[in-house]
A and B are shown apart, each in its own frame.
Chain A
Amino acid sequence: EAQVTQNPRYLITVTGKKLTVTCSQNMNHEYMSWYRQDPGLGLRQIYYSMNVEVTDKGDVPEGYKVSRKEKRNFPLILESPSPNQTSLYFCASSRQGITDTQYFGPGTRLTVL
């Protein structure tokens, strides 16, 4: 089954404790991206990647890092989480870019205390 998986689905952590949210797709897609969803703000793009070893900043990259060492994986790293990063995070992938259908993961709800 074609899908985008994210782990964990739920995470409660404390300020400053490094964490990684994994994202994996099994569709051989070149384009992957991360979004955060906040009430009243919709979805905002954090980072995106056009292909292996190619990443670029979205609209809200501060406090986040990503890597794309393999085509299927695109982890989101929070080196020192802060409470304002409490949010619902979505990973997405598509064949080549944003004009192709984006397939979204189920979301990761992160709470930073």
Chain B
Amino acid sequence: GDSVTQMEGPVTLSEEAFLTINCTYTATGYPSLFWYVQYPGEGLQLLLKATKADDKGSNKGFEATYRKETTSFHLEKGSVQVSDSAVYFCALGVDTDKLIFGTGTRLQVFP
């Protein structure tokens, strides 16, 4: 069935380091792909999305490109800040009405 696999955390980085969080998916058809972020004690917020192959989603310095050939949607940021510390979820949208989330990756950024 449809599924999302993302790298286990925690990912621990120093401020201004480069970030990559890997996400791969398995799906039939043409899914949409999302990254959501959850700050401590809060609900999830949409970070970025891509709805078709080769689309690049971007927001707040984060980017991810929908790669159909490698079934991937890796999240990247060139220079992380302490305020980016959160849990990041990759998600797959299927059949226009179901969202399937990965298990989440905790990012910890230290000054």
Contacts and interface: CB of A to CB of B under 8 A. Distances in A.
Q: Closest 10 interchain pairs by CB? A: A104-B43, A42-B103, A98-B93, A43-B101, A42-B101, A104-B44, A101-B46, A98-B99, A97-B96, A99-B32
Interface of B: 32, 36, 42-46, 49, 51, 89, 93, 96-104
A102 interface: yes
13 contacts: A41-B103, A42-B104, A43-B101, A45-B100, A48-B98, A92-B44, A98-B32, A98-B98, A99-B51, A99-B93, A101-B46, A104-B44, A104-B45
Nearest to B102: A42
Nearest to B46: A101
Given A31-B97, A41-B103, A42-B101, A90 B51 contact: no
Contacts of B102: 42
Contacts of B104: 42-43
A56 interface: yes
B43 A107 contact: yes
A105 to B, nearest CB: 6
Interface of B is mostly: strand
A59 interface: yes
Q: Which residue among B51, B97, B103 has the maximum number of chain A CB atoms within 10 Å of its CB? A: B97
Interface residues of A, number: 26
Identify which of A31, A50, A98, A101 gathers the most chain B CB atoms within 10 Å of its CB.
Answer: A98
Contacts of A95: none
B32 A106 contact: no
A48 B94 CA distance: 13
Contacts of B44: 43, 90, 92, 102, 104
A99 B48 CA distance: 11
A44 B101 contact: yes
A99 B104 CA distance: 20
A104 B51 CA distance: 20
A45 B49 CA distance: 19
